[in-house]
């Protein structure tokens, strides 16, 4: 009986501790740095980032920095996730494609904001883990595919928006093709191992318009050997 009571209290304490850290993250790291979109702040106040990062990183989940997520990959710091999410102007009726599922955190943030999320991950261990974690957290509007995101996910195209969370040297052509007219894509582009430019890519009257947003550092966009 005493043990049960102890477990309940410590579980409550842990939950409370993470919630407090998350709210502080939204205020100090996002709102104070200029993230204005209320729905994005709200979504990031809600998504339990500590349950999507590896157990060893749980206590670091709400810190202002990128974190290792296994397989040599990293999840961006919360501010970059917020910045990219805000750039696509999320709306409740949108269908969004993400390339680079990683931990599933960005997908979960999107799932709070839009109707359908399709996300592609090239490292199968990461994709499988994210898929089961997202299911466990109850995100039923997210579909995860293991594959080379260079090809996008043609079956569900066109997309209102695309978020790419690994850095290719150029914007992949299939992603441009799968972007809806009037759609927005946010993508870090640049040479491997160097600082990249975060680009907003818009399709306006069939024309592609690129706007530089800021300098960022993402893991490289890899290609599967059998891909073209
Ligand atoms: N959005 C993730 C962070 C991603 S880190 C999150 O919220 O946790 C970048 C991810 O892109 C890594 O998991 C990496 O394996 C993946 N990636 C790299 N190249 C890729 C490609 N060609 N297709 C799909 N995923 C790719």
What are the pLDDT digits (tens) for 19-35? 999 999 999 999 999 99
- CA gap 189, 218 in Å, rounded: 9
Ligand 1, atom nearest to 219 Cα: 9
**pLDDT at site 192:** 83
Is the CB of residue 82 below 6 angstroms from any atom belonging to ligand 1? no
In tens, the pLDDT along 164-201 reads 999 999 999 999 999 999 999 999 999 988 899 999 99
The better pLDDT of the pair 1, 109 is held by 109
Residue 226 has pLDDT above 90, yes or no: no
Beta bridge partners of 220: 167
Residue 87 has pLDDT above 90, yes or no: yes
The CATH number for 65-216, chosen from 2.70.98.60, 2.40.30.10, 3.40.50.150, 3.90.190.20, is 3.40.50.150
Atom 18 of ligand 1, residue of closest alpha carbon: 221
14 pLDDT band, cuts 50/70/90, is low
Specify whether the CB–CB gap between 102 and 130 falls below 8 A. Answer: yes
């Amino acid at each position: 009986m005493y043990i049960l009571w102890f477990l309940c209290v410590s579980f409550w304490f842990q939950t409370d501790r993470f919630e407090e850290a998350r709210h502080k993250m939204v205020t100090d790291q996002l709102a104070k740095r200029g993230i204005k979109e209320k729905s994005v702040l709200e979504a990031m106040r809600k998504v339990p980032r500590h349950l999507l990062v590896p157990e060893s990183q749980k206590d670091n989940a709400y810190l202002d920095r990128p974190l290792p997520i296994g397989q040599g990959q990293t999840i961006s710091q919360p501010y970059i996730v917020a910045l990219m999410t805000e750039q696509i102007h999320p709306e409740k009726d949108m269908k969004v494609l993400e390339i680079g599922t990683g931990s599933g955190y960005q997908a979960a943030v999107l799932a709070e904001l839009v109707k359908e999320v399709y996300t592609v991950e090239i490292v199968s261990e990461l994709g499988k883990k994210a898929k089961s974690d997202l299911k466990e957290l109850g995100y039923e509007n997210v579909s995860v595919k293991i594959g080379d995101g260079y090809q996008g996910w043609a079956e569900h195209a066109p997309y209102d928006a695309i978020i790419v969370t690994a850095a290719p040297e150029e914007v992949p052509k299939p992603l441009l093709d799968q972007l809806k007219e009037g759609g927005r894509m946010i993508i870090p582009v640049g040479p491997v191992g160097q600082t990249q430019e975060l680009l907003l890519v818009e399709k306006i009257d069939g024309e592609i318009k690129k706007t530089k947003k800021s300098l960022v550092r993402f893991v490289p966009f890899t290609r599967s050997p059998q891909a073209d």
